[in-house]
Structure 1
Amino acid sequence: MEKLIVLGTGHALTTKCYNTCFALAEENKYILVDTGGGNGILGILEKADIPFSKIHNVFITHRHTDHVLGVLWIIRKISGLIRSGKYEGNLNFYGHAELIQNIQTLMEVTLDTNILQMIGKRIMLIPVADGQKESLDGLDFTFYDIHSTKAKQFGFTVKLKNGKTLTCMGDEPYNPLCRKYVENSDWLLGEAFCLYRDREIYKPYEKHHSTVKDTCELAAQLNIKNLVLWHTEDQNILDRQKLYIAEGKRYYSGNLYVPNDLDVLVL
């Protein structure tokens, strides 16, 4: 049974929930997608009961702090396991070529030599191109350029072992150039910075983000069966799920999920 383990659901500056990131889990294998903005990722992974020794593949969408900085703490943690003989295999990081260079630079200016010596040996930095296909833990991924209006960013679509497709659009609005990757997906992971009614408060469009209404209308147009909304504000954290679902259901009739940190969705 394949599961999506929600590690964080907030945007970059949230304090009541962690930055949006997640894990795809199947049996005892875990693929991380983004890592949040700091060492909070270590505690989140422990709370989610994800063993560090079972993490071998990590995909990072783009270079923004709330997505990439947790990489350094995962490397520190797993490099220690490697040195102590408690980690088998390699730790692989995937991302577009520019991002991989960014991660390399971050490592060089922040990590000790004994960790840097593992790059290319046990810690692998693997660039992927637009449309490139890769098998991660037996799952077939297709990575694609989301045509970001800010920092270069990639998403992906993956064929799950149950035959369903899951598509991650990153944290920016959908670009029609990506239609072939997104349309008819069984699961779509989309950002919704705030409620449409609150757009004048949070200014999502100025930040190149979407509202609940926008992403739900998109999912309806593209025949999405299951829609997950996250990368949100946190001022209404206690009522967020109820409020977002109520607004979203006015525009989308499929299965709508607004998870909280550490929720688990069966795919």
Structure 2
Amino acid sequence: MKLTILGTGNAAVSECYNTCFAISDGDRHFLVDAGGGNRILKVLKDTKIQITDIHDIFVTHEHVDHVLGIIWLIRIIGQKMNQGKYDGDLHIYCHRELSEKIRSIASMTIQQKVCRHMGERIQFDIVKNGEQRKILDCPITFFDIASTKAKQFGFTMQLNNGIKFTCVGDEPYNEVNFEYVKDSDWLLHEAFCLFREADKFKPYEKHHSTVKEACQLAEKLGIPNLLLYHTEESHLAERKKLYTEEGRQYYHGNLFVPDDLETFTL
């Protein structure tokens, strides 16, 4: 299976895209968030992920840099449904309050001939803490990350090769989710900035962490593969090098600081 990082940046970036990614098994794709706008269409095109091959999307939370791209996908997929160019249904996984907000935004901004598919072929699958689903033939457990800003969910996915893949959203790991995160082979975790630049970017005010804290966490949990994202972009050209250098001081596993559109084999 393959992981494609579609975007790596925080909400305010302009030189890269907002954090979102896809897990793929051949031509089947599980999309996690969609960034903050119609650039999602471009990054999917650049990674050769066909929109008609996306049937499962998980939306972590309501912030604009994660949810507005979903509105564009509803529009494009709904149009393709009307044109007879989309087989099957689209499943959007999210918590109940978020499903209502997505439906409201879509209904106010997209033509009714597209929105009519919501609740029919565009299905909202409401998830609760600890609930399981099967996506890409893999069991997934969704969990509430206990956010202090907006209700947000993460997930852990047991891949067919035995690999445990975990995403804790775009806030620091919370110990209340230890039972879900423990024994993960891959952990996707936010790292808003370098620790030495915390005074400049003020990650703690936004309830984010630095490279140092994310790496210390992964070291403590014994995670063999750590991927850092949801970052600032002032060091975009050198981000991989700088973040890796800082992270190596605190973490001894495989550390990944991806660029947009980078792919990994899971």
1:50-73 Cα shifts (integer Å, max 9, x gaps): 011100000000000000000111
Asked if 1:99 corresponds to 2:83, the answer is no
**Corresponding residue number in structure 2 for 1:86:** 85
Asked if 1:15 corresponds to 2:14, the answer is yes
**Contact 2:52/2:87 (8 A) holds in 1:** yes
**Corresponding residue number in structure 2 for 1:224:** 223
**Contact 1:184/1:225 (8 A) holds in 2:** no
Q: Equivalents in 2 of 1:178, 1:137: separation in Å?
A: 24
Deviation at 1:137, TM superposition (A): 2.2
Q: Percent identity?
A: 50
**Corresponding residue number in structure 2 for 1:39:** 38
Asked if 1:122 corresponds to 2:121, the answer is yes
Q: Equivalents in 1 of 2:138, 2:103: separation in Å?
A: 26
**Corresponding residue number in structure 2 for 1:70:** 69
Asked if 1:109 corresponds to 2:108, the answer is yes
Match of 1:69, SS?
helix
Q: Equivalents in 2 of 1:61, 1:44: separation in Å?
A: 19
Structure 2: gaps of 5 or more residues: none
Q: Which runs of at least 4 in structure 1 moved beyond 6 Å after TM superposition?
A: none
Residue type at the aligned position of 1:234: E
Match of 1:78, SS?
helix
Q: Equivalents in 2 of 1:148, 1:84: separation in Å?
A: 40
**Contact 1:188/1:227 (8 A) holds in 2:** yes
**Corresponding residue number in structure 1 for 2:255:** 256
Deviation at 1:77, TM superposition (A): 1.0
Match of 2:55, SS?
strand
Q: Equivalents in 2 of 1:5, 1:169: separation in Å?
A: 17
**Corresponding residue number in structure 2 for 1:153:** 152
Q: Equivalents in 2 of 1:219, 1:138: separation in Å?
A: 27
**Contact 2:78/2:115 (8 A) holds in 1:** no
Q: Equivalents in 1 of 2:259, 2:38: separation in Å?
A: 19
Structure 1: gaps of 5 or more residues: none
**Corresponding residue number in structure 1 for 2:187:** 188
Q: Equivalents in 2 of 1:104, 1:136: separation in Å?
A: 22
Q: Equivalents in 2 of 1:206, 1:183: separation in Å?
A: 27
**Contact 1:188/1:226 (8 A) holds in 2:** yes
**Contact 2:183/2:223 (8 A) holds in 1:** yes
Q: Equivalents in 1 of 2:141, 2:4: separation in Å?
A: 20
Count of residues in Structure 1 that have an aligned counterpart in Structure 2: 266
**Corresponding residue number in structure 1 for 2:51:** 52
Deviation at 1:97, TM superposition (A): 1.2
Match of 1:23, SS?
strand
Q: Equivalents in 1 of 2:197, 2:184: separation in Å?
A: 28
Residue type at the aligned position of 2:25: E
Residue type at the aligned position of 1:111: I
Residue type at the aligned position of 1:100: S
Deviation at 1:253, TM superposition (A): 0.3
**Contact 2:187/2:226 (8 A) holds in 1:** yes
Q: Equivalents in 2 of 1:31, 1:203: separation in Å?
A: 33
Moved more, 75-84 or 150-159: 75-84
Q: Equivalents in 1 of 2:67, 2:230: separation in Å?
A: 15
Q: Equivalents in 2 of 1:244, 1:179: separation in Å?
A: 25
Residue type at the aligned position of 2:67: V
1:12-38 Cα shifts (integer Å, max 9, x gaps): 000110000000001110000000000
1:151-197 Cα shifts (integer Å, max 9, x gaps): 00000000011110000000001111001111220000000000000
- Aligned residues: CA RMSD: 0.7
Q: Equivalents in 2 of 1:214, 1:171: separation in Å?
A: 14
